[in-house]
Amino acid sequence: MSHATASRVQHVIGDPLSEAPARPREELEAIFGDIQADLRYDMELNGCLNCGICTATCPAAHYYDFSPREIVQLLWTENLEGIYDAMQEKIWACAQCYTCAARCPFGNSPGGLVMLMREAAIKHGMESAKNVLRPFSRVMLKLISTGNQLAPNMITPDHFADWGPNISKVDAPLKLLRKAIPMPTLNTTETAWEVNLKTSIELYTIWEMTGVLDQLEGIDENLFDVITDIMDEKREDYDDWLEDQEDDDEDD
């Protein structure tokens, strides 16, 4: 049977009658190669009895179409197409609680392996990674640009409607209340705590040197541009501050 003319459905989900893999073999090998090349891989995968203890204790497996046993088996048997398929949705169900790692008789860490697959999904710019991370762009902006994430002034009834009446406990005169906290770094309402300018730049440099920002660029270019602008400004501020210090030292 010929499938030369693909329908719209076949174009989206592939041809169920075709034996050709949905993705080129080289791409599947490159993705698996990246997962396997990670230093953590050999520590987190030692073999698999297929016993299912990990799945029996996994909270995500109770609520989603997800099984850590299945994930480990896909990696252990080097099922490249299965690994790619799992990266389209299933791996994002894991809660990263590591109950599985505590229970596996082989000392595997299915949750840790899921993390490696997530990192590979980000590195390869998969749509699943973009879709999962998109709602967190505000938090990522805050985290990368200030060094911390949820600031007290972000906790408002508008943003946390699901908290119901409990929101009133935090929707209070925050500026006043936070002044009562003994640590001066927590007296702020715009950040969870004040991060020193030098520390911000050091954090940014770490993310730059370790490839985190390159990955972010592949996933969300707009967010990457905004963060880069903020950091360029901070670096200029820091250079100005250093120059001022030098001038002060010369004057003394």
The least CB distance from residue 29 to ligand SF4, in Å, is 23
Q: Is 102 in the site for ligand SF4 (CB under 6 A)?
A: no
Closest CA to 55 of 46, 66, 63, 44: 66
Q: Site mask, ligand SF4, residues 42-61, x = CB under 6 A?
A: ------xxxxxxx---xxx-
Q: Is 21 in the site for ligand SF4 (CB under 6 A)?
A: no
Residue 162, Cβ density class (10 Å: 0-12 exposed, 13-18 middle, ≥19 buried): exposed
Q: Which of 88/148 has CB closer to ligand SF4? A: 88
How far apart CA 109 and CA 122 sit, in angstroms, is: 20
Q: Which of 95/230 has CB closer to ligand SF4? A: 95
Q: Which stretch binds ligand SF4 (CB under 6 A): 20-28, 92-100, 138-146, 237-245?
A: 92-100
The least CB distance from residue 125 to ligand SF4, in Å, is 23
The least CB distance from residue 180 to ligand SF4, in Å, is 38
Using CB under 6 A as the binding criterion, the count of chain residues that bind ligand SF4 stands at: 27
Q: Which stretch binds ligand SF4 (CB under 6 A): 9-17, 24-32, 91-99, 127-135?
A: 91-99
The least CB distance from residue 109 to ligand SF4, in Å, is 8
Q: Which stretch binds ligand SF4 (CB under 6 A): 10-18, 82-90, 108-116, 192-200?
A: 108-116
Q: Is 100 in the site for ligand SF4 (CB under 6 A)?
A: yes
Residues that bind ligand SF4 (CB under 6 A): 48-54, 58-60, 68-69, 72, 94-100, 104-106, 108, 110-111, 114
